């Protein structure tokens, strides 16, 4: 891992710069933040499953941020709550590789028959195979 070989050198450079950089400057704040988060940075680099950013999450919630002003006109808090629930289902389906229309149709067809927590859990997007959701003609 090339990052692990330059990591100790980077920390030495940051530690040397912290002494000569005004702590209230933007660069000083950045250096202090990096040094305070150093243990988390090392763990991040050692675990290949972790991502360096949260772009996936931010892209998934972008429709919420764009529609936020529209939700002011939901008419009632329960309407806004229903909208948020629906958007959450759609974005979770997308994140799990499901086509949202097919997932919602599958959910609305099977949810009324689900009587146990296990049956309801089986309807969550992460437990479904995209090929299993065929729309009848």
What DSSP line would sit under the chain, residue for residue?
-HHHHHHHHHHHHHHHHHTTS-TTSHHHHHHHHHHHTHHHHHHHHH-TTS-SS-HHHHHHHHHHHHHHHHHTTSSSHHHHHHHHHHHHHHHHHHHTT--HHHHHHHHHHHGGG--SHHHHHTTSGGG--GGG-PPP-
Query: Does residue 45 contact residue 7 with C-beta atoms inside 8 Å?
Result: yes
Q: Which whole number is the average pLDDT over 46-59?
A: 78
The confidence score (pLDDT) of residue 4 equals 59
Q: Is the pLDDT of residue 104 over 80?
A: yes
The confidence score (pLDDT) of residue 21 equals 94
Under the banding of pLDDT at 50, 70 and 90, the label for residue 103 is: very high
Other beta carbons within 10 Å of 121: 11
Other beta carbons within 10 Å of 133: 19
**What is the distance between the alpha carbons of residues 134 and 9, in angstroms, rounded to a whole number?**
55
Q: Can you read off the two tokens belonging to residue 137? A: 């003609």
Under the banding of pLDDT at 50, 70 and 90, the label for residue 24 is: very high
Under the banding of pLDDT at 50, 70 and 90, the label for residue 137 is: low
**What is the distance between the alpha carbons of residues 134 and 137, in angstroms, rounded to a whole number?**
9
Query: Does residue 91 contact residue 60 with C-beta atoms inside 8 Å?
Result: yes
Q: Is the pLDDT of residue 136 over 70?
A: no
Under the banding of pLDDT at 50, 70 and 90, the label for residue 112 is: very high
Q: Looking at per-residue confidence, does 83 or 18 come out higher?
A: 18
Tell me which of 49-53, 79-83, 114-118 is least confident.
Answer: 49-53
Our CA dihedral for 54, 55, 61, 63, rounded to 10 degrees, sits at 170
């Amino acid at each position: 891992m090339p990052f692990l070989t330059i990591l100790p050198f980077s920390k030495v450079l940051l530690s040397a710069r912290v002494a000569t950089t005004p702590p209230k400057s933007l660069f000083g704040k950045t250096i202090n933040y990096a040094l305070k988060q150093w243990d988390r940075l090392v763990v991040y680099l050692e675990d290949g499953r972790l991502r360096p950013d949260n772009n996936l999450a931010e892209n998934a919630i972008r429709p919420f941020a764009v529609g936020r002003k529209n939700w002011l006109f939901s008419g009632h808090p329960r309407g806004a709550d229903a909208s948020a629930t629906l958007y959450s289902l759609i974005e979770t389906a997308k994140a799990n590789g499901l086509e949202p229309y097919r997932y919602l149709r599958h959910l609305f067809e099977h949810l009324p028959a689900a009587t146990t927590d296990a049956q309801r859990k089986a309807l969550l997007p992460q437990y479904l195979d995209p090929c299993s959701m065929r729309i009848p003609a």
